Structure 1
Amino acid sequence: MIRPIIAYGSPVLREATQQISRDTPGLAQLIADMWHTLDNAGGVGLAAPQVNVPVRLFLVDNRLEDAPLRQAFLNPLIIMRSAAVSTDEEGCLSIPGLTAMVTRPETITIRYEDASFQEHTRTFSGMDARIIQHEYDHIEGRLYTDLLSPLSRTLLKHKLRAVSKGRFRPGYPMQFPLRS
């Protein structure tokens, strides 16, 4: 089932997320729904808070690399970030129509469980590392806009407000914050 993606301004995108276990109700269905949602939206990553579920789970689907990465990350923890950084353009399914240049560590090491709850520790570099860090930020209650300079955030404020009010409609289902 394709779930609506939660838009910028929704509180769930800033909430602390909970660890998950084999006993988490509906986990297999959540992961399947998230893959359908990500594929439908044409993104490269999706975190559970973006489908209104505040748990420590995200998906990465980076087919742009020579060795494509399509992986679910459960209960992840980044345990190393390189001092070397790179800057590249990022966007977000929760903030459609908006991109910005974001600086992140070039290489990370992450400990996580896969969908079968097998534990892994892997090092990623380049675009894979960037996507993982972006999705990891979601489960930490952060957005890529938090990494921008105050001036850049100020310049984007009008566009961010338009997204939160549903004035921009992408080609995939979205849920916008309740208007007061």
Structure 2
Amino acid sequence: MTDATLLPILLVPDPRLRAKAKPVAAGDDVRALSETMLATMYAAPGIGLAAPQVGEMRRLVVIDLQRDDTRSPIVLVNPEIIAESGEQATREEGCLSLPGQYAEVTRPARVKVRYRDLTGAKREIEGDGLLAACLQHEIDHLNGVLFVDYLSALKRNMLLRKLAKDLKSKERE
């Protein structure tokens, strides 16, 4: 895939990252968008990408937890969390829209998500560990929520100031 097929990833504080995405209508073909989103995610590199992160305000998420050449992408159309465990898990999260910024985030340890696949078929996926965190992180994007929203105001402000400083120094390079 060439760079021409990649989409620019929006960075904080772009207001589109705080907007709620609209459902993908029945019959809307998002196959081409999902393929371009996967290419963009792999090139970044990342393990998940939500459509709002590339300026598409639709409820579409791509995920691939594979770290090697064995790709195993999951495309979720209109995903929604339908069950979550009472047990919590804390893990380090980062985000392609906040490059280079990481923090410990506590979320439900396990989730069940209902979605449609690219053929329109209803599906469910259950995840724990990294998959659970990734599903929740990406679905949050569809609702205008960022992982930094789970941090204390102090930690969030420190991280956002560091991001702004890093982006300014990159502009000067």
TM-score normalised over the length of structure 2: 0.88
Backbone CA RMSD of aligned residues: 2.0
Is residue 171 of structure 2 the alignment partner of residue 167 of structure 1? no
- Residue in 2 that maps onto 1:173: none
The structure that is helix-richer by fraction is: 2
Q: Is the 8 A contact 1:108 1:124 kept in 2?
A: yes
Q: Distance in 2 between matches of 1:62 and 1:71?
A: 9
- Supply the distance in 2 between the matched residues of 1:157 and 1:52 (Cα, whole angstroms): 20
**What letter corresponds to residue 80 of structure 1 in structure 2?**
A
Aligned partner of residue 6 in structure 1, secondary structure? coil
% identical equivalent positions: 36
Q: Summarize deviations over 1:50-96 as a string: whole Å, max 9, x none.
A: 100010000110015xxx85200100110111111111111000100
8 Å contact from structure 1 (residues 60, 70) kept in 2: yes
CA distance in 2, matches of 1:154, 1:21: 37
Any gaps of 5 or more consecutive residues in structure 2? none
Q: Which runs of 5+ in 1 are unaligned?
A: 170-180
Is the contact between residue 38 and residue 46 of structure 1 (CA under 8 Å) also seen in structure 2? yes
Corresponding residue for residue 133 of structure 1: 136
Matches within 5 A, 1:76-115: 76-115=79-118
* Greater RCO (CA < 8 Å, at least 6 residues apart): 1
What is the aligned partner in structure 2 of residue 152 from structure 1?
155
Matched residue pairs, number?
Answer: 165
Relative to structure 1, the CA distance from residue 168 to residue 127 in structure 2 (aligned partners, 3 Å threshold; closer, same or farther) is farther
Deviations 1:155-177 (A, max 9, x none): 223113336xx4265xxxxxxxx
C-alpha contact (below 8 Å) 1:46/1:60 kept by paired residues: yes
TM-score, structure 1 as length reference: 0.85
Preserved CA contact (<8 Å) 1:96 1:168: no
